[in-house]
Structure 1
Amino acid sequence: MPWGGKPRRSASSIVADTESGYHLLTVHGYSRTKGVPTGERVKSRPFVVGGHRWRIDYYPNGVRSEVADYVSLSLMLDEDEDDLAAAPAVKAQFDIRLAGEAAAEDALAAASVDEFTPGRGCVYTTFVAREELEGSEHLRNDSFTVRCDIVVVRDYRAEDAAVGFVSVPPCDLRRDLAGLLETEKGADVVFDVGGETIAAHRCVLAARSSVFAAELFGPMKEGCSTAAGIVVRVEDMEAEVFRALLRFAYTGQLPETRKEDEDVTCQHLLVAADRYGMRRLKLICEEKLCECINVGSAAIVLALAEQHHCQGLKKACFDFLAAPANLRAVVATEGFQHLSRSCPSLMAEVITMSLGIS
Structure 2
Amino acid sequence: MAEQRKISVAMISEERSFELKVDEYSRAKAQLKIGDGLTSTPFTVGGHNWTVRYYSNGVCAHDTDSIYLFLRLESADAGDVKAKFTLSLLDKNGEPVPSYSHTNPMHTFSKSSAWSSELEIKRADLKRSPYLRDDNLTIRCDLTVMKEIKIEETRVAPSDLHQHLGDLLKNKDAADLVFQVGGQRFSAHRCVLAARSSVFKAELLGAMKESSAALPIEIHDMEADVFKSLLHFIYTDSVPLLETACNKGETDVVMAGHLLVAADRYNIVRLKQICDEKLCNHMDSNMVATSLALAEQHGFHRLKEACLQFLASPSNFDAMVASDGYEHLKSSCPSVLKELIARMIPSEFKSAKDVIMAI
Question: What corresponds to 1:211 in structure 2?
Answer: 199
Aligned residues: 200
Q: Secondary structure at the match of 2:345?
A: helix
Map residues 54-69 of structure 1 onto 2, 5 A cutoff. Answer: none
**Equivalent in 233, 238, 254 of residue 218 of structure 2:** 233
Question: What corresponds to 2:306 in structure 1?
Answer: 316
Is 1:189 matched with 2:177? yes
Map residues 154-303 of structure 1 onto 2, 5 A cutoff. Answer: 163=152, 168-221=156-209, 223-226=211-214, 230-256=215-241, 258-260=247-249, 261-303=251-293
Q: Secondary structure at the match of 2:159?
A: coil
Contact 2:229/2:239 (<8 A) preserved: yes
CA distance in 1, matches of 2:313, 2:210: 48
Contact 1:223/1:233 (<8 A) preserved: no
Q: Secondary structure at the match of 2:179?
A: strand
Question: What corresponds to 2:96 in structure 1?
Answer: none
Map residues 62-141 of structure 1 onto 2, 5 A cutoff. Answer: none
2:280 is aligned with what amino acid?
C
Q: 1:167 to 1:321 in 2, by over 3 A?
A: closer
Question: What corresponds to 2:42 in structure 1?
Answer: none
Q: CA RMSD in A?
A: 2.7
Q: Deviations along 1:113-149, whole A, 9 cap, x unmatched?
A: xxxxxxxxxxxxxxxxxxxxxxxxxxxxxxxxxxxxx
Q: 1:220 Cα deviation (Å)?
A: 4.5
CA distance in 2, matches of 1:171, 1:314: 36
Q: Secondary structure at the match of 1:256?
A: helix
Contact 1:293/1:317 (<8 A) preserved: yes
| Greater Rg over alpha carbons, structure | 2
Q: 1:351 to 1:240 in 2, by over 3 A?
A: same
Q: Deviations along 1:27-64, whole A, 9 cap, x unmatched?
A: xxxxxxxxxxxxxxxxxxxxxxxxxxxxxxxxxxxxxx
CA distance in 2, matches of 1:313, 1:12: 51
CA distance in 2, matches of 1:235, 1:212: 15
CA distance in 1, matches of 2:151, 2:298: 48
1:202 is aligned with what amino acid?
R
Q: 1:219 Cα deviation (Å)?
A: 2.3
Q: Deviations along 1:228-263, whole A, 9 cap, x unmatched?
A: xx5211111111110100111111100336432211
2:178 is aligned with what amino acid?
V
Q: 1:346 to 1:167 in 2, by over 3 A?
A: closer
1:289 is aligned with what amino acid?
L
Q: 1:309 Cα deviation (Å)?
A: 1.6
Q: Secondary structure at the match of 2:241?
A: coil
CA distance in 2, matches of 1:342, 1:287: 24
Contact 1:306/1:314 (<8 A) preserved: yes
Identity of aligned residues (%): 48
CA distance in 1, matches of 2:282, 2:288: 9
Q: Deviations along 1:294-315, whole A, 9 cap, x unmatched?
A: 1111111001111222111111
CA distance in 2, matches of 1:221, 1:356: 57
2:161 is aligned with what amino acid?
L
Q: Secondary structure at the match of 1:185?
A: coil
Q: 1:10 to 1:296 in 2, by over 3 A?
A: closer
Contact 1:295/1:329 (<8 A) preserved: yes
2:295 is aligned with what amino acid?
A
1:174 is aligned with what amino acid?
H
CA distance in 2, matches of 1:175, 1:162: 31
1:315 is aligned with what amino acid?
E
Q: 1:219 to 1:291 in 2, by over 3 A?
A: same
Q: Secondary structure at the match of 2:187?
A: strand
CA distance in 1, matches of 2:262, 2:228: 11
Q: Secondary structure at the match of 2:239?
A: coil
Q: 1:167 Cα deviation (Å)?
A: 6.9
Q: Secondary structure at the match of 2:263?
A: helix
Q: 1:332 to 1:170 in 2, by over 3 A?
A: closer
Q: Deviations along 1:266-297, whole A, 9 cap, x unmatched?
A: 01111111111111101110111011211111
CA distance in 1, matches of 2:306, 2:156: 44
Q: 1:180 to 1:324 in 2, by over 3 A?
A: same
Q: Deviations along 1:91-114, whole A, 9 cap, x unmatched?
A: xxxxxxxxxxxxxxxxxxxxxxxx
Structure 1 portions without partners, runs of 5+: 1-8, 14-160
Contact 1:214/1:221 (<8 A) preserved: no
1:326 is aligned with what amino acid?
N
Q: 1:177 to 1:12 in 2, by over 3 A?
A: farther
Contact 1:299/1:335 (<8 A) preserved: yes
Contact 1:215/1:222 (<8 A) preserved: no
Contact 2:193/2:200 (<8 A) preserved: yes
CA distance in 1, matches of 2:9, 2:222: 51
